């Protein structure tokens, strides 16, 4: 069955991690994605994290559903190859520092000459203009500058960064959305356009109403650990078998059910209990009540009793628990993918299910330059011409 993006051709010239993941998301739903890497300097993602038999495992996920080719973009011959590819593509994704494509004579003015309908997605730390535009930009800097780190961690601890690519991942989702919006615009105008995505921006939106809170009230959200300023009880709690659960009471009815479950109906009668914000101001009392009850029960017992009470609870998993969870299994959230290098690999499935045109993982990330001959041959280059380019280091 064809995916909903079947027929869309994407040139992925980006690295580490927002741009490449955006291209992966498009490839998952049928787009033909051609990954361009330097002939002698592969995407650094191939070397990130653990490897097996010298094969980077993160790349198997990030590079899935992509054809891999190599081109030296800084060489005139390589630039001509890119222009030939752009003629056949709908989308280009890049994350070089602003001005780099222009220095290579591959700016949007040149690209759009050969393909007026092209959508160019430019994913950088700080965007294409402004005083910080040319600074080196990574997701970590966005997690710091957006305010995320400032509100993350215990009240008496330091600002805390996430142990994974949070800002990059949010930007990848946003980039994929932006590309689809631009393509939909092309359907009515016939013209492509440039997507300018600064990694510092999407995470700021995800953080919620902090700017309007400060604008209207002068309020600066503090670090509260696992607690919330908007509701309580809301925390993580240790069970009697030394495991952990998370409890949420965003709805008033859920908060009341939790207190009845733990035998503290008396707290429901307190005037302050009627509002989430006021409950949050009494989090010490509520955490003592809920945490004390949970500490006397195993995790399985806690889960059973909370579900019986129709209260909101979840076990705190590590990856081993995720692999055994029946809900993830029912959804097909993880999929084993055949792989010629490693036999098979387990990875997250496509992000969502479409009833008529579902996405699929067609293959895991391929070796560096594995599809160069196929891709360039598709442009009409002969085997001898490709061999000559390879001898000269262009591919």
Q: What residues are labeled active site?
A: 168
- The pairing of strands 32-37 and 9-12 is parallel
Taking each helix axis from N to C terminus, what angle separates 252-261 and 299-308, rounded to the nearest 10 degrees? 120
Taking each helix axis from N to C terminus, what angle separates 252-261 and 283-294, rounded to the nearest 10 degrees? 50
Q: Which of 281, 321, 302 is nearest to 237 (CA)?
A: 302
Q: Which helix (H) or strand (E) holds 12?
A: strand 9-12
Q: How far apart are CA 103 and CA 379, in angstroms?
A: 24
φ, ψ for residue 303, nearest 5 deg:
-60, -45
Contact 9, 378 (CB under 8 A): no
Query: For residue 250, is it left (φ>0), alpha (ψ between -120 and 50) or beta?
Result: alpha
Angle at 195 between CA 379 and CA 72, to 5 degrees: 40
Q: Report the length, in residues, of the chain.
A: 395
Q: Tell me the three-class secondary structure of 103-123, residue by residue.
A: HCCCCHHHHHHHCCCCEEEEE
Q: List residues bridging with 232 in a β-sheet.
A: none
Q: In the 8-state DSSP scheme, what is residue 47? A: G
φ, ψ for residue 253, nearest 5 deg:
-65, -35
- The H-assigned helical ranges of 262-382 are 265-268, 276-281, 283-294, 299-308, 319-324, 326-331, 372-377
Q: How far apart are CA 202 and CA 213, in angstroms?
A: 18
Contact 365, 59 (CB under 8 A): yes
């Amino acid at each position: 069955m064809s995916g909903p993006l079947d027929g869309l051709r994407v040139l992925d010239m980006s690295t580490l991690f927002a741009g490449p993941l955006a291209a992966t998301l498009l490839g998952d739903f049928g787009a033909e994605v051609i990954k361009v890497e330097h002939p002698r300097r592969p995407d650094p993602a191939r070397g990130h994290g653990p490897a097996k038999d010298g094969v980077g495992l993160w790349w198997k996920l990030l590079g899935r559903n992509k054809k891999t080719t190599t081109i030296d973009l800084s060489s005139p011959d390589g630039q001509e190859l890119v222009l030939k590819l752009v003629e056949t593509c709908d989308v280009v994704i890049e994350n070089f520092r602003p001005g780099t494509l222009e220095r290579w004579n591959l700016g949007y003015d040149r690209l759009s000459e050969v393909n007026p309908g092209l959508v160019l997605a430019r994913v950088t730390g700080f965007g294409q203009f402004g005083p910080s535009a040319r600074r080196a930009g990574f997701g970590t800097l966005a997690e710091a500058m957006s305010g995320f780190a400032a509100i993350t961690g215990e009240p008496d601890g330091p600002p805390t960064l996430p142990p994974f690519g949070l800002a990059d991942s949010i930007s990848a989702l946003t980039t994929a959305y932006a590309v689809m919006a631009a393509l939909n615009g092309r359907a009515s105008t016939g013209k492509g356009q440039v997507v300018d995505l600064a990694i510092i921006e999407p995470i700021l939106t995800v953080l919620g109403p902090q700017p309007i809170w400060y604008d209207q009230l002068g309020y600066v959200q503090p670090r509260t650990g696992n607690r919330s300023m908007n509701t309580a009880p809301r925390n993580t709690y240790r069970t009697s078998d030394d495991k952990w659960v998370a409890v949420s009471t965003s709805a008033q009815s859920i908060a009341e059910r939790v207190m009845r479950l733990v035998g503290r109906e008396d707290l429901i009668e307190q005037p302050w209990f009627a509002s989430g914000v006021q409950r949050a101001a009494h989090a010490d009392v509520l955490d003592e009540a809920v945490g004390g009850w949970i500490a006397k029960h195993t995790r399985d017992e806690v889960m059973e009793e909370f579900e019986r009470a129709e209260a909101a609870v979840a076990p705190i998993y590590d990856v081993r628990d995720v692999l055994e969870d029946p809900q993830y299994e029912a959804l097909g959230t993880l999929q084993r993918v055949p792989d010629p290098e490693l036999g098979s690999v387990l990875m997250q499935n496509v992000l969502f299910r479409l009833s008529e045109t579902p996405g699929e993982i067609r293959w895991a990330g391929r070796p560096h330059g594995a599809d160069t001959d196929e891709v360039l041959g598709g442009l009409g280059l002969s085997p001898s011409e490709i061999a000559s380019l390879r001898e000269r280091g262009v591919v």
